[in-house]
Structure 1
Amino acid sequence: MSEFALCLTHDVDRPYKTYQGLFYALQSNPGYHLRTLLGRENPYWQFEDIMALERDLGVRSSFYFLNEPSLLRTGTLADWFDPKNWIEHLGRYDIEAEAITEVIHALDDGGWEVGIHGSFRSCDDFDRLRTEKRELESVLGRDILGGRQHHLKLGPRTWQYHRELGLKYDASPGSSSTHGFQHGYRPFRPFDDEFVVFPLTLMEVSLPDPGRSFESAWAECEQLLVEAEANDAVMTVLWHPRYFNDDEFPGYRRLYREVVAWALDRGAWVGPVGDYYREFLDDGGSEATRTGRTRETVQSEHEAE
């Protein structure tokens, strides 16, 4: 395979606008943020718009669904006094809710990949990750191939847990503050077997705000695309669904379209991570680098950044 690839992903963290509205209202446009927080309008529900955009471009992508445990149901006394747990709890959604199950099936029926977005503490909790995987597969009606950990958080045994649970890939290594090919140009096999890791090249929040300077944001995207093409790289990008809402995040939708269109114009393979895995890596072939890189190697690279 000589062409480069662009893998498209979306982490479904918060499909509903909740406490964020109060924070944003204190900064600017309080009327809009309070209206969208308290009213029936839901500006973070962008599934249909993303599907329409990608359908228009002739591509599909991966959607990773988060199944954050309910603090009220499973939390310990210590958990209740940890502010981080309340931040996660107040924004959680139920993957078994009717609206969520309907969109999961719509995505799957339309050729999009549905994967797991392991909850914040699941990277160190095998039982929790197993439960989250089982519940998502119950909603979907079949097995999933892989996903990405929430907040890109990896523990010493996270990839081992993924393997034991039958997942074929993880797409977590990366950064929310920087972008590039720090983890290499190709997916790699940390255990020299069928399990593959896809490094995250670009998360949208690491870019200059395209609403303020679209040219600056696009220049950095184009630089990454040129580097990917020159090195036959597998470039993985993450656009959270809420960033397709032009009212709050102007420019990000257009930027995403430009990134995809550029890659298509250059003849790149463009699609979901799972499709790339099935098409090029499922037989344990050489498309993924057999570097023997471990979770500890990636973690040390994170700490050095």
Structure 2
Amino acid sequence: MREEHSFALCLTHDVDRPYKTFQAPYRAVTERSLYHLKTALPGNNPYWQFEEIMELEADLGVRSAFYFLEEQNLLRDKSPREWTELRNWVLYTGRYSVTDPAIADVIRRLDEGGWEVGLHGSYESYRDIDRLREEKETLEGVLGHEVSGIRQHYLNLERPRTWELQSELGFDYDATLGRTREYGFHYGYNVLRPLNDEFVVFPLTLMELTLPDVPTDADTAWEACERLLERARDRGAIMTVLWHPCYFNEREYPNYKRVYRKLVERALEMGAWVGPPRELLDSLRGTDAQSVDFVPSLED
């Protein structure tokens, strides 16, 4: 981060489900709307928002990081006993592979356009080095070069073991440490070095789902964002935000795209460095990021 910037805003996107699948019939029933069934038909991809995000960010002169998921297949990779558990259908169905032609194409376009492409480690990979290695190598095969950043799916983390596995596999940083129901600087204002070496952790400050009443009261949600930006500026902090691509679909998730754009615009107005974690990390090498000791725990 250059001296002319008062703080940093890292932009990230976890690519969980770029296609609308099993969610459609559930939402059609619960919301009494045929819209969800229509948008799940072939040729309709309301959660495919890559071009919209790229256009928005390019218009603002910024880039972000996209973390792609190479999840297990329930019927292929799990035992028949596990097929009967509803939780597993939610976790493993409706997924994609980074080798799918359309996905591989957008991965390469993002990379060529200056966006960062990282790995979204699958649900169980946070404690499985073989699984994590396979996912990393698969994504790198699509990209044609190494991947340096990761965020674990569902923010799954076993501290410090997950970081040790990631570091062993050659990742330079992890962006998992965060909370799924709260926003804020719960883990400090700087990146962390939990292994007391060059491996870095970017704590997650804000995930869009933790904001209050975005569809019905965007002003209140924006006020929360602005307070975080002001706190980041006052502390010279590194603030990391996560916006899932599907939330740029304004028909189903009104106001989220508008709040995201306003967040980036306001950060730039306030003198922030704005971009993907990998790019910021390059400028942080050799600085005094905090070295910390975490006990192995899944609790926040």
Same fold per superposition (TM over 0.5): yes
CA contact (8 A) 2:74 2:93 kept: no
Query: Residue 273 of structure 1 aligns with which residue?
Result: 277
* Other structure's SS at 1:154 match: coil
Rounded to whole Å, the distance in 1 between the matches of 2:42 and 2:102 is 18
Query: Residue 55 of structure 1 aligns with which residue?
Result: 58
Alignment of 1:27-106 (within 5 A): 27-28=30-31, 30-106=33-109
Query: Residue 263 of structure 1 aligns with which residue?
Result: 267
Rounded to whole Å, the distance in 1 between the matches of 2:196 and 2:42 is 52
Query: Residue 228 of structure 1 aligns with which residue?
Result: 232
Q: Indicate which of 239, 243, 257 corresponds to 1:239.
A: 243
Deviation track 1:135-191 (CA, whole Å, cap 9, x = no partner) reads 000111100111100000012411110011000100001112110001000010001
For residue 78 of structure 1, report the CA deviation from its aligned partner.
Answer: 4.0
For residue 122 of structure 1, report the CA deviation from its aligned partner.
Answer: 0.5
CA contact (8 A) 2:73 2:93 kept: no
Structure 1 residues 27 and 86 mapped into 2: Cα distance closer, same or farther (>3 Å)? closer
Deviation track 1:236-289 (CA, whole Å, cap 9, x = no partner) reads 0000000000000010000000000000001100000111111223xx431x21
Mean Cα deviation higher: 111-120 or 71-80: 71-80
Rounded to whole Å, the distance in 2 between the matches of 1:262 and 1:12 is 25
For residue 28 of structure 1, report the CA deviation from its aligned partner.
Answer: 2.1
CA contact (8 A) 1:188 1:293 kept: no
Query: Residue 290 of structure 2 aligns with which residue?
Result: 289
Unmatched tracts of structure 1, length 5 or more? none
The TM-score normalised by the length of structure 2 is 0.95
- State percent identity of aligned pairs: 52
* Other structure's SS at 2:222 match: helix
Q: Indicate which of 194, 197, 200 corresponds to 2:201.
A: 197
CA contact (8 A) 2:25 2:37 kept: yes
CA contact (8 A) 2:123 2:152 kept: yes
* Other structure's SS at 1:211 match: coil
Structure 1 residues 39 and 212 mapped into 2: Cα distance closer, same or farther (>3 Å)? same
Aligned residues between the structures: 296
Query: Residue 207 of structure 1 aligns with which residue?
Result: 211
Q: Indicate which of 180, 186, 195 corresponds to 1:176.
A: 180
Aligned alpha-carbon RMSD (Å): 1.4
For residue 12 of structure 1, report the CA deviation from its aligned partner.
Answer: 0.1
1:293 counterpart letter in structure 2: D
Deviation track 1:190-220 (CA, whole Å, cap 9, x = no partner) reads 0110100010000001012322001110011
The TM-score normalised by the length of structure 1 is 0.94
